[in-house]
């Protein structure tokens, strides 16, 4: 064995071979080409050796079987000839398929993450055995990268678990845990982690006796027996579901479904050939490239400590104080408690405090399976929550997050009162969505320990957190805030202080432009449709209603004060707020809301809306969908380049991650700047040209002009 080997072959008993996968120096086992080469050589050794009763494939990393194929190798193959990619897929599948020809039984002993190529490897084994590790997840998430499994996953899975289950797993890309795996026949059984190795040997002995694995090999090499009617029914229901989930914007699940239906009627060898041949249609496509970029954005974020300086250690956060038990405070507290941090929470209104605590407990004790509160979870988490009305109780916490009303005077008065009560090394953070962190820190004794930690609403669902560095915030404070957000399972990006921070600074130009388009005579339906066709989860007009028109009005005002030449304040918003139409929360905004979603009325058909908007409709030429898309997204893009010019974030990737995680910018476009790269700066400057008369918000920045001149890209 060389020092760099990922696979180690051992013989705990003379006739039992164990192949342990432990990629040196890495936290995860990844299936790179080199590992496949090692596997091939071990297989040959075993076959030559003779006298083997069984092979166990296991991992040397706790909680991790195999994370998947090496995605960096994928990217390196994007531009190689198609025939090479097909050959590589063929090679991997045929290599794994050798497991089904061995003169002995093979068992994958899985006790952790088992995904993608790793799951395919396990599927080619005769048997899969699972340990009890709670980190265990088994899945084929390739569709999330715009692909489908290419090493025989679409062949083996349906033959082992049935076509219906396979269609669901492969087209959704979602993973399953032990219980489901056993229920669908994917895994033989589940044993306590520490007994997995012994159980694998026992299973080999049992199979040696029963020889059932040989019968299964035979069965799984055949077509799947299903009638045409059954196939048609499955195809129709699955494709309707996929269409609803993907809105037709992600081709991989549809392609996977078609492949699965077709190859279910073929023998396994031919099905494998079809898989490899059609895999290439998705590989290296624009959507595949975009989704892989999103994967890398997330991966980079996980490793990013948030600061450039070396030698700064984030402080551990074990206890959190939350001031303000409203929507955000309760959400932040619940997220912290769920990660077993102790939380002390207060609110100036006793009623809000009681309500907030109830919301926290409801949230942390919620059991997805039973769709209700779980007594066990409640007794585990409830002791971590302490409600108080006494400032002194914050003296012991590591971090205090303020989430009181968005008013600078209220916030500053609170800090003045609270800061002297806090421990010397306690961090103070604000969840403000718009107020300058530098201004909030004025008057603090320790501005270096003050930082913005901006969660998004609803905290439970939104992965993004902006960590905002004020002029005097220290590196240690930033790194600690980043560490805290990650401990909650969030994706923090560090942003220098400034109006709208990152996400709102980019969102506002887009939302405002939607109102300008209405003023120029485009209909609500047209604007919504253009945005949704582009891939946004909801149109900008609906977004106004969701955010709240009063909140949007306030945020727009803050942004207008900062950038009066670029941020247009539409009088429509004020008029609707004045009329009591504040959005979903008040029952009406641009749309009207009843008790159910179905009651949402289209704006144009609401007789009460038009008179309110009428005074502000200037009219203008009808625009095409492409023109509306440019109007909505090009100002956002220009603003992003200003953010980069001003070095508000350290990397273009932060902009893309922030928009995907913060506002649902379409992942299949890879991010705003990734999308811009696919168009090219020169073309973008050209597309801005017709809109220049509308004002400086359409003015190409010097960065864009320079990029247009040199051909440079954001992702160079
Ligand atoms: P909220 O109105 O739901 O809650 C605010 C709570 O603070 C109320 O319960 C109120 O009683 C309490 N409070 C007011 N003054 C107080 C004081 N001096 N001491 C203690 N408690 C006090 O508001 P929210 O939506 O949770 O927003 C809180 C903060 O989070 C604001 O700064 C807001 O801008 C920011 N924020 C809100 C959202 C959002 O979508 N709601 C998103 C991100 C950030």
| 3-class DSSP string for 272-287 | HHHHHHHHHHHCCCHH
- Nearest atom within ligand 1 for CA of residue 410: 18
Give the lowest-confidence range in 281-295, 366-380, 392-406. Answer: 366-380
Q: How far is the CA of 478 from the centre of ligand 1 (A)?
A: 22
- Nearest atom within ligand 1 for CA of residue 356: 9
Whole-number Å distance between alpha carbons of 65 and 522: 54
pLDDT band at residue 419 under the 50/70/90 scheme: very high
Does residue 434 register a pLDDT over 90?
A: no
Q: How far is the CA of 501 from the centre of ligand 1 (A)?
A: 18
Which 8-state DSSP code applies to residue 265?
T
Per-residue model confidence (pLDDT) at position 101: 96
pLDDT band at residue 337 under the 50/70/90 scheme: very high
pLDDT band at residue 3 under the 50/70/90 scheme: low
Per-residue model confidence (pLDDT) at position 598: 47
Bridge partners (DSSP) of residue 372 are 367
Does residue 370 register a pLDDT over 90?
A: no
Whole-number Å distance between alpha carbons of 713 and 681: 7
Does residue 596 register a pLDDT over 90?
A: no
Q: Does 414 sit in the ligand 1 pocket, CB within 6 Å?
A: yes
What percentage of the chain exceeds 90 in pLDDT? 92
Arithmetic mean of pLDDT, 340-363? 97
Write out the H or E segment, with its range, that includes residue 376.
Answer: helix 375-381
R_g over Cα of the chain:
28
Tens of pLDDT, residue by residue over 211-267, are 999 999 999 999 998 899 999 999 999 999 999 999 999 999 999 999 999 999 999
Order of strands across the sheet with 16-21? 7-13, 16-21, 54-59, 105-110, 127-131, 190-191
Q: Which residues contact 506 (CB under 8 A, 6 or more apart)?
A: 500, 636, 639, 640, 643, 655, 658, 659, 663, 672
Whole-number Å distance between alpha carbons of 574 and 568: 13
Per-residue model confidence (pLDDT) at position 143: 97
Q: How far is the CA of 407 from the centre of ligand 1 (A)?
A: 9
Per-residue model confidence (pLDDT) at position 4: 79
Q: Does 610 sit in the ligand 1 pocket, CB within 6 Å?
A: no
Q: Does 405 sit in the ligand 1 pocket, CB within 6 Å?
A: yes
Q: Which residues contact 32 (CB under 8 A, 6 or more apart)?
A: 69, 70, 73
| Cα separations in angstroms, 409 against 168, 292, 405, 413, 488 | 53, 45, 10, 6, 30
Q: Does 457 sit in the ligand 1 pocket, CB within 6 Å?
A: yes
Per-residue model confidence (pLDDT) at position 348: 96
Does residue 601 register a pLDDT over 70?
A: no
Does residue 1 register a pLDDT over 50?
A: no
Whole-number Å distance between alpha carbons of 157 and 175: 13
Q: How many CB atoms lie within 10 A of CB 662?
A: 23
Task: Please name which of 360, 357, 347 lies closest in space to residue 410, comparing C-alpha atoms.
Answer: 347
Tens of pLDDT, residue by residue over 52-108, are 999 999 999 999 999 999 999 989 999 999 999 999 999 999 999 999 999 999 999
Q: Which residues contact 567 (CB under 8 A, 6 or more apart)?
A: 508, 509, 512, 556, 559, 560, 697
Q: Does 404 sit in the ligand 1 pocket, CB within 6 Å?
A: yes
Arithmetic mean of pLDDT, 283-288? 95
**131 by DSSP, 3-state: which?**
strand
Q: How many CB atoms lie within 10 A of CB 548?
A: 18
Arithmetic mean of pLDDT, 534-554? 94
Contact at 8 Å (CB) between 494 and 306?
yes
Point out the residues that are catalytic: 454
Task: Please name which of 578, 588, 585, 560 lies closest in space to residue 616, comparing C-alpha atoms.
Answer: 578
Whole-number Å distance between alpha carbons of 38 and 18: 14
Does residue 524 register a pLDDT over 60?
A: yes
Task: Please name which of 1, 71, 58, 77 lies closest in space to residue 32, comparing C-alpha atoms.
Answer: 71
Angle, CA 137 vertex, CA 167 and CA 256 arms, to 5°: 20
Whole-number Å distance between alpha carbons of 557 and 576: 15
Question: Which of 323, 405, 431, 504 maximizes ligand 1 atoms within 8 Å of its Cβ, making it the mutation to test the pocket?
Answer: 405
Arithmetic mean of pLDDT, 600-628? 86
Tokens of 50: 């003779």
Tokens of 650: 């350290």
Contact at 8 Å (CB) between 336 and 415?
no
């Amino acid at each position: 064995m060389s020092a760099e080997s990922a696979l180690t072959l051992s013989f705990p008993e003379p006739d039992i071979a164990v192949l342990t996968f432990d990629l040196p120096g890495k936290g995860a086992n990844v299936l790179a080409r080199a590992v496949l080469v090692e596997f091939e050589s071990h297989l040959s050794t075993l076959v030559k050796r003779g006298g083997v009763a069984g092979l166990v494939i296991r991992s040397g990393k706790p909680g991790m079987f195999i994370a998947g194929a090496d995605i960096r190798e994928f990217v390196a193959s994007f531009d190689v000839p198609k025939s090479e990619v097909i050959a590589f897929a063929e090679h991997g599948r045929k290599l794994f398929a050798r497991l089904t020809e061995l003169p002995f039984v093979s068992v994958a002993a899985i006790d952790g993450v088992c995904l993608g190529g790793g799951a395919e490897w396990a599927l080619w084994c005769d048997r899969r055995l699972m340990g009890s590790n709670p980190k265990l997840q088994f899945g084929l998430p390739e569709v999330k990268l715009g692909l489908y499994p290419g090493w025989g996953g679409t062949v083996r899975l349906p033959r082992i678990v049935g076509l219906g289950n396979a269609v669901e797993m492969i087209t959704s890309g979602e993973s399953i845990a032990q219980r489901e795996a056993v229920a669908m026949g994917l895994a033989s059984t589940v044993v306590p982690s520490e007994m997995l190795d012994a159980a694998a040997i026992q299973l080999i002995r049992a199979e040696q006796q029963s020889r059932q694995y040989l019968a299964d090999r035979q069965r799984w090499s055949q077509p799947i027996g299903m009638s045409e009617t059954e196939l048609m029914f499955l195809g129709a229901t699955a494709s309707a579901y996929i269409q609803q989930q993907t809105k037709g914007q992600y081709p991989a699940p549809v392609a996977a479904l078609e492949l699965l239906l077709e190859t279910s009627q073929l023998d396994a060898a031919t099905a494998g050939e079809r898989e490899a041949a059609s895999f290439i249609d998705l590989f290296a496509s624009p959507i595949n490239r975009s989704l892989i970029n999103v994967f890398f954005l997330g991966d980079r974020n996980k490793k990013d400590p948030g600061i450039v300086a070396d030698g700064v250690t984030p402080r551990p956060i074990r206890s959190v104080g939350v001031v303000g038990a409203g929507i955000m405070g309760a959400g932040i507290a619940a997220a912290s408690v769920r990660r077993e941090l102790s939380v002390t929470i207060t609110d100036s209104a006793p009623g809000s405090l009681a309500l907030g605590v109830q919301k926290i407990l409801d949230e942390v004790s919620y059991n997805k399976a039973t769709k209700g509160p779980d007594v066990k979870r409640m007794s585990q988490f409830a002791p971590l929550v302490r409600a108080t009305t006494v400032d002194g109780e914050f003296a012991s916490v590591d971090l205090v997050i303020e989430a009181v009303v968005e008013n600078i005077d209220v916030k500053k008065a609170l800090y003045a009162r609270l800061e002297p009560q806090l421990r010397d090394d306690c961090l103070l953070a604000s969840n403000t969505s718009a107020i300058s962190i530098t201004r909030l820190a004025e008057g603090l004794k320790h501005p270096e320990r003050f930082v913005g930690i901006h969660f998004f609403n609803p905290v439970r669902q939104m992965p993004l957190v902006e960590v905002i560095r004020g002029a005097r915030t220290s590196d240690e404070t930033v790194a600690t805030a980043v560490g805290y957000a990650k401990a909650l399972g969030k994706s923090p990006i560090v942003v220098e202080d400034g109006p709208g921070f990152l996400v709102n600074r980019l969102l506002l130009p887009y939302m405002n432009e939607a109102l300008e388009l209405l003023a120029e005579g485009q209909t609500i339906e047209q604007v919504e449709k253009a945005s949704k066709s582009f891939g946004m989860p909801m149109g900008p007009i609906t977004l106004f209603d969701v955010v709240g028109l009063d909140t949007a009005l306030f945020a727009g005002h803050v942004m207008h004060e900062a950038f009066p030449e670029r941020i247009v304040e539409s009088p429509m918003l004020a008029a609707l707020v004045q009329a009591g139409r504040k959005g979903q929360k008040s029952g009406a905004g641009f749309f009207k809301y009843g008790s159910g979603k179905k009651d949402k009325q289209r704006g144009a058909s609401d007789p009460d809306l038009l008179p309110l908007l009428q005074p502000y409709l200037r009219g203008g030429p009808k625009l095409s969908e492409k023109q509306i898309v440019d109007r909505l997204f090009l100002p956002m893009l220009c603003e992003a380049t200003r953010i980069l010019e001003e070095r508000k974030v350290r990397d273009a990737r932060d902009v893309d991650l922030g928009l995907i995680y913060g506002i649902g910018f379409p992942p299949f476009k890879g991010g705003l700047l990734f999308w811009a790269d696919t168009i090219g700066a020169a073309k973008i400057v050209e597309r801005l040209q017709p809109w220049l008369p509308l004002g400086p918000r359409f003015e190409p920045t010097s960065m864009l002009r320079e990029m247009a001149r040199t051909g440079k890209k954001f992702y160079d």
